[in-house]
Structure 1
Amino acid sequence: MTDAGAQHRLASVLAEVRGRSRSGAGAGWSRVRGGFPLALQAGLAAGLAWFIAHDVIGRPSPFFAPIAAVITLASSVGQRARRTIELVVGVAIGIGIGDAIILLIGSGPWQIGLVVVLAIVVAAAVGGGTPLVVQSASSAVLVATLTSGTGLPYTRFFDALVGGAVGLTVMTVLLPLNPLTVVRRSADPALEAFTEGLHAIADGLSGRDADAVKAALDRLRSAEANFAAFDQAAAAASENVAFAPARWRARGALSQYVEGADQLTYALRNVRVLARRVMTALQDDEPVPECLPTSVRLLGDAVELLREEWARGVEPIATRERALRAAAESGRAYDEGVGFSGGVVVAQVRTTVSDLLRATGIEYAEAPRLVRRAVGWHGRPRTVRRKPGRSRPGASGRGPS
């Protein structure tokens, strides 16, 4: 029996190790697939920048051209145009200061230090961001250490200009990334984590398991990075489709992601508040009507439907219907009886539903009106005297959005 138990435990451990190995290999392959298009762009841009500067224009050693091309493509997503301008300006400042200092006082360790200090001070004085400061300092160092003082300063600046222009051309015309592929690759992990978190909260609420809800809350906090990546990818894709004629036909489907990204971030924050209140309700042993976990589970279903409908590029009608069902289900909780924290959970469900509706393209003011109609508050008077005790918030004709 002991040997059989040991073998069983060993088999379980080996299975877990194999699973982790497969998941690790799968994650690695996914990262390679995600990074390969950028690598291809950068390689093409570097070779093309050198070819134009060296073979077409006739520069003898235009090493700044491929450097500028690669940095342009590798700059932060969503800000490539601005980063390219900062790159060129930074190179100009660094080259100018480096050439001037070396011409006046020669080269050496302290001269290099002085060049870097002056380049950074000037870059900061003109209000540049990190890319401008970094490029000013690095360009000054390159001029002070690797280039001779006989070359004309403007030629090195021209190399950087050629490289930046080539990088932008590759990015927008010659080899533009598919913006829908980029944004979906970032949106899917965020939406999947959101769906799993909502379903886990619903399960924990139904089973009165505060620890399970806390674990779900921790995972949702970790998902903030996925949502930040989604926001950045949406901004980058919007820029890409604006400047790449070959991708203009994707503007309609892409607009769903771009316009919905912020609203989903708001929804995530509201759900985190919801999760904390669920934990408090369970710890205080408040009543939990079955409709409450059902409404949270329906929210998770709505997020999953949104991911699927966005991927198909269709109007997210099913998402709206499921979200409004979640709002209607939460409204029943007051009739069945909830405590203070349970009431806050109901309010957060409705607020999250409003965020999801706005993410699907519903107008800002229209979303809470639809939520009120779903819960049954449409057309109620807005001001009436409150009755003693806790009553359904619909008695005032108003409900949180």
Structure 2
Amino acid sequence: MGVLRALRRHAAPATDADGRRISAALAELGRRGQRSAAARLRRLRTYLVLAVQAGLAAALAWLISHELLRTSEPVFAPVIAVAVIATSIDRRLRRSVELLVGVTVGIGVGDLLIAGTGTGPWQIGVIVALAIMVAILLRGSSSLITQAGGTAVLIASLTPTTQDLEVPRFVNAGIGGAVGLSVALLLLPLHPLRLVRRRANPLFELFTSQLAATTRALRNRDARQAQDALRALTQDTQLRQLHEALQAAREVVTYSPFRWNRRGTLIQYEEGAEHMERAFRDSRGLVRRIASLIRDGEPVPDALPGAVGRLCSALRLLHRDLSAGREPDRTREETLWVVTEAARATEAGLGFHGTAAVAQLRTMAHDLLRATGLDRSDARTLIRRTFAAARAR
């Protein structure tokens, strides 16, 4: 106790600055916790349908194999059905076929060798090696090879007490695969636009929030805030997730008759997403120029942060228009306001980095107009005329 009292006597008294730092740290910790909880909730909403699909597929596969076909060991059917559902939503049909082929190879090689050699450590090694060799000869992917080897281990190590089960095992694998695909594409298909929208939300949130931060950095002349926004925009995770969602949605509207009516809207979203991705990558150049502009003390006319703020608004409108499948007239109008504000900033006077930032704004405006469905020529003409008209006023 005496040591503690001595430490307290010699400890530096807490200052207001210390209290502010502690409060800021606790506040940031709370914000991170909220963001993490929100991210988990979004992930649950996105994948909840997969859990329902898996449960339905497992129940149907067991019912068909055990009750209708009277298979004595129907476990392979629900296992394969769940595996088909659990495969990545990206390219599910292809991955499901690879899964079925891998299981079939593993079952076939395992059953043939066990019938002649029995089971044991060396038999497991030989069976797995041969199953993988067959998968390689079939020019299988890593997924197919892994599945063939894993199934061979299962077959070699869990010898059935009932003999002559080779045909039921093959039948169960086929039933499970067919049921899994039927549930995923026919009975309970994913809603393609809802899937894409939920995967796109984090990307648009990142994009717009960092552009909003860049707007504040310009108004406050805060180079560090602009640099933080640039660092956040270098992440590509959200782009990859959007690509996966678009591929999965394309597969659903191609193979599921109940989703064929969504083809046109999805095509529009795919075309828009391609140009939106370019705008996302171009934004890094814009924010980098803005950070340099602030550090070098170049002039910041009020119209420049206004242009970046308008760009943020145009992106939000684009996301809503693409998700709803409606004509993006409001997005086009807001994008042209970006060009107008950029022209006014040019007239007010800019330095080297400011001029380069305006050029990036025009490029991003072109990307957004293309994302709304305009062709290259029309987009360029609109931007050029709007910029010239604004400078002439």
Distance 1:8 1:211 in 2: 20
Task: Name the amino acid aligned to 1:233.
Answer: A
Distance 1:26 1:197 in 2: 18
Match of 2:93 in 1: 81
3-state DSSP of counterpart to 2:234: helix
Under a length normalisation based on structure 1, what TM-score does the superposition of the two structures give?
0.84
The Cα of 1:212 is off from its aligned counterpart by 0.5
Kindly indicate whether the alpha-carbon contact (under 8 Å) linking 2:272 and 2:322 is maintained by their aligned counterparts in 1: no
Distance 2:350 2:67 in 1: 77
Match of 2:7 in 1: none
**Distance verdict in 2 for CA 1:7–1:340, change over 3 Å:** closer
Q: 1:218 aligns with which of 224, 231, 236?
A: 231
Q: 2:84 aligns with which of 60, 64, 72?
A: 72
Aligned residues: 376
Say whether residues 1:142 and 2:149 are aligned partners. no
Say whether residues 1:181 and 2:232 are aligned partners. no
Match of 1:49 in 2: 61
Match of 1:166 in 2: 179
Gaps of 5+ in 1: 378-391, 393-401
Q: 1:267 aligns with which of 273, 276, 279?
A: 279
The Cα of 1:251 is off from its aligned counterpart by 3.2
Q: 2:164 aligns with which of 151, 161, 169?
A: 151
Task: Name the amino acid aligned to 1:176.
Answer: P
Kindly indicate whether the alpha-carbon contact (under 8 Å) linking 1:88 and 1:157 is maintained by their aligned counterparts in 2: no
Task: Name the amino acid aligned to 2:205.
Answer: E
Say whether residues 1:132 and 2:134 are aligned partners. no
Distance 2:86 2:111 in 1: 27
Gaps of 5+ in 2: 1-12
**Distance verdict in 2 for CA 1:154–1:328, change over 3 Å:** farther
Q: 1:355 aligns with which of 357, 364, 367?
A: 367
Match of 1:203 in 2: 216
Distance 1:192 1:182 in 2: 16
Q: Within 5 A, what are the aligned runs for 1:1-400?
A: 25-148=37-160, 150-222=163-235, 224-376=236-388
Under a length normalisation based on structure 2, what TM-score does the superposition of the two structures give?
0.85
Q: Deviations over 1:76-116 (max 9, x none)?
A: 22301111111111112212222233334332223212322
Distance 1:20 1:281 in 2: 30
The Cα of 1:303 is off from its aligned counterpart by 0.4
Task: Name the amino acid aligned to 2:311.
Answer: L
The Cα of 1:25 is off from its aligned counterpart by 4.9
Q: Deviations over 1:158-185 (max 9, x none)?
A: 3222111111111122112222222221
Task: Name the amino acid aligned to 1:188.
Answer: N
Q: Deviations over 1:338-388 (max 9, x none)?
A: 3333232222111111211122222244323322222229xxxxxxxxxxx
**Distance verdict in 2 for CA 1:376–1:120, change over 3 Å:** farther
